[in-house]
Amino acid sequence: MQFLKNKLSNILSSSIKEQFAVEMAAAELSDMLEYPPDEDKGDLALPCFKLSRTLRKSPVQIADILASSIEDADFSSVEAVNGYLNFRVNAGQFVKRIVGDIRRKGEKYGSPENGNGKTVVLDYSSPNVAKPFHIGHLGTTVIGHSLKLLFSFAGYNCVGINYLGDWGTQFGKVITAYRLWGSREEVEAGGVDELVALYVRFHQEAENDPSLNDTARAEFAKLEAHDEENIALWKWFIEVSLREYKKTYKLLGIEFDSYNGESFYTDKMPEQIQVLRDKNLLEIDDGASIVNLEKYNMPPCLILKRDGSTLYPTRDIAAAVYRKRTYDFDKAIYVTSAGQSLHFAQWFKVVEMMGYDWSDKLVHVPYGTVSINGAKLATRSGNVILLRDLFEQAIEKVTSIMEEKNPEMKGRTDVAEAVGVGAIVFYYLSNNRIRDINFMLEDALSFEGNTGPYAQYTYARTCSILEKAGERGEMGDAPLGSHELSLAKVLATFPEKVNQAIEQYEPSVITRFILDLCASFNRFYHDCKINNCEDGDLRRARIALTDATNTVLGTALGLICMKKPEKI
């Protein structure tokens, strides 16, 4: 619909100048145009209330004057109603234009194509090594990857970075626990689950024997000093963990361009610490080195502890400088929980104070917390639901449904995986990212209502219709009515939704669009004969509209990490 908004805003700008002798920018008028919630009130509307002060007339008078002065072939009628200017599009012309545009652009329909020659670095997922890849990581993983897909769709060169938590005192704890209670055979057999069990046991034992914490700190100090045995164990823990994590990434269709974790930047921090010193930004506070952010209404940013060791901000600053030098990004996006918002605000400001002119290209994309049936997650107590187990549960449920309803279906295993994993992803991305989510497993795995399986089933329905038709259809000169128009209007909003999702870093915009498109298509399918339509021209036009829906729905599903099974 954006092309009509653009055209209409230019017409309105000219009409206002002619009728009221007032200059108004087309862009300003375009922002005022609305989609009426009730289709009986038209397809586009201009509320004239905001114009009243500028044009020195009542909204009703403005609407009446403009209605009588506007005439265009794209609009079948222009009506003034209680201060609103309501526009109805020419149905046949509009539907043909949208379907033709989709057919011409194919899978690129909806792309703003404004990212050519630009690079975006996205830091997301980033689990802590030797800890479980659990449902708490779902947000950063699927939001981050969906943003990568959206920016790629817009033409950007995207670099996906999995900033692994592969450094810190927790490795001293795991090394201590492994030496006391573990074995190589048990870790190789149990994988990351065994490492987690050792980590949990360490905290249980340390409650009764606090000296274990001193032992763990000593082991991490040896790791920092490059003790050969501890370095070998650390590398092995990373290998074991990644082996497990990559199984989950494979289910989601995710690949990363870099797995450089926190440890990678250890030798890159001294340079940035020296820059801070050279610019007189470091202050000593109780033995620690800080950057004072009081005038920015933030607590101080801690750069070095009293013992001289570094912290998260130090590593993040070094990582940002390295990424700018390596990838020359136009934007660097960090997808983490909202609980880290202050941390990012602090070190972003420090980067600015250091004189890096790209500091305004750093973007934190926060998301809400996840609880399971009301219970918070806690690695130390083992109160987590692994993503692997959650996906397996969903796949098993889909498999049982398919065995009951379609036991002869070919490729059932792949379809069950696509639908089961998709159900979890869709459930999560249906919510605005900043909202806290109480993950109710029964709801997530439901296959009724506004769910991922419903969206995938609708896509499969379009595939089935096109397969039976044996053709993609043609618009021709068939008379088109309200059913076709309603569906085409939803399809026409896709480019705007993509832009909105990118500008707001909000994949749920696409998820909601998918539900709107599925609802509109299923009404069209229910109310209109397609393959069985007796009018040949109308049949071909409806097939073409189904083909357009198939293209756009498939693209939209792909943008939120979901697969597109052609049969369910």
Residues above pLDDT 90, as percent of the chain = 67
Residue recorded with tokens 């130090």: 314
**Distance from the Cα of residue 128 to its chain's centroid:** 21
Which residues fall within 8 angstroms of residue 379, CB to CB, at 6 or more apart?
131, 132, 134, 196, 199, 200
- Please state the rounded mean pLDDT for residues 494-520: 97
Quick check: 230 pLDDT over 80?
Answer: yes
Q: What is the CATH number of domain 420-435+442-559?
A: 1.10.730.10
Q: How far apart are CA 552 and CA 101, in angstroms?
A: 11
**Distance from the Cα of residue 290 to its chain's centroid:** 34
- Please state the rounded mean pLDDT for residues 324-339: 97
* pLDDT tens-digit readout, 65-111: 998 888 877 888 888 988 888 998 888 889 999 999 999 999 999 99
Give the model's pLDDT for residue 479: 84
User: What superfamily in CATH does domain 2-89 come from?
Assistant: Arginyl tRNA synthetase N-terminal domain (3.30.1360.70)
C-beta separation of 88 from 43 below 8 A: yes
Q: How far apart are CA 294 and CA 491, in angstroms?
A: 50
* pLDDT tens-digit readout, 273-320: 999 999 999 999 989 999 999 999 999 999 998 887 788 999 999 999
274 vs 91, 169, 277, CA distance in Å? 66, 25, 5
Query: To which H or E segment does residue 333 belong?
Result: strand 331-337
Q: Give me 504's structure tokens.
A: 């707001």
- Please state the rounded mean pLDDT for residues 532-560: 96
Provide the residue ranges of all domains of the chain, joining segments of one domain with +: 2-89, 420-435+442-559
Q: Is the pTM of this model over 0.95?
A: no
Alpha-carbon Rg for the chain in angstroms = 28
User: What does DSSP say about strands 288-291 and 282-285: parallel, antiparallel, or unpaired?
Assistant: antiparallel
Can you say whether the dihedral through the CA atoms of 337, 338, 340, 346 is positive or negative? positive
Which residues fall within 8 angstroms of residue 57, CB to CB, at 6 or more apart?
20, 65
* pLDDT tens-digit readout, 206-218: 999 999 999 999 9
Which residues fall within 8 angstroms of residue 265, CB to CB, at 6 or more apart?
315, 318, 319, 322
Phi, psi (deg, nearest 5) at residue 378: -150, 110
- Please state the rounded mean pLDDT for residues 393-404: 87
The average confidence (pLDDT) of the chain is 91
> Angle at the Cα of 519 (from 515 to 520), degrees rounded to 5?
115
Q: How far apart are CA 398 and CA 251, in angstroms?
A: 15
Quick check: 184 pLDDT over 50?
Answer: yes
Under DSSP, the state recorded for 258 is B
Quick check: 27 pLDDT over 60?
Answer: yes
C-beta separation of 74 from 90 below 8 A: yes
Under DSSP, the state recorded for 77 is E
Residue 45, strand partner residues: 34, 86
Using pLDDT thresholds of 50, 70 and 90, give the confidence band for residue 379: very low
Q: How far apart are CA 348 and CA 346, in angstroms?
A: 6
Quick check: 135 pLDDT over 60?
Answer: yes
Enumerate the H helices of 363-481 as residue ranges.
Answer: 387-405, 412-429, 441-444, 452-469
DSSP sequence for 155-212: T-EEEEE---B--SHHHHHHHHHHHHH--HHHHHHHTHHHHHHHHHHHHHHHHH-THH
